Amino acid sequence: MLHTVNKSSFERNSLKSCINIIDDTSVILLIEDGVISATKNINSSMIANLANQGRVYALQGDVEARGISSKLVDNIKLVDYTGFVDLVVEHGTSVSWV
């Protein structure tokens, strides 16, 4: 399954809830303010492990718009909107955490 998260971990608990519940085959795509959670910060241990497994993506346009490209947690994969579409196609059901 594909899980999209569109709010920062400093604003909502949606990323934490998502990580607590997803199975081993699921991937996470951070979009909109959700990309804030892709930066190295006091919450980033939450996603570091998943990122090392290659299961965390972030929407490149939203990362660049917020000027955080150089601060990303290691091994987060950047995708454009076409990549977003591919993730939806590849991973079956998509769940939006808002």
Partner 1 sequence: MKISIQINEGPYQHQASDTAYQFAKAAIKKGHEIFRVFFYHDGVNNASRFTIPPQDDRNIVNQWAELGIKNANSEPELVVCIAAALRRGMLDESEASKNGIDGNNIHPAFRISGLGQLIEAGIQSDRLVVFGD
Q: What residues line the site for partner 1 (CB under 8 A)?
A: 4, 6, 31-33, 59, 61-62, 80-82, 84-86, 88-89, 92-94, 96, 98
Q: What is the DSSP letter of 12?
A: -
Question: Measured from the CB of residue 36, what is the shortest distance to partner 1 in angstroms?
Answer: 13
When the beta carbons of 11 and 49 are compared against partner 1, the nearer one is 11
| The residue type at 43 | N
Question: Measured from the CB of residue 92, what is the shortest distance to partner 1 in angstroms?
Answer: 8
What is the C-alpha separation between 26 and 63, in angstroms, rounded? 22
Q: Decide if 12 contacts 40 (C-beta within 8 A).
A: no
Question: Measured from the CB of residue 5, what is the shortest distance to partner 1 in angstroms?
Answer: 12
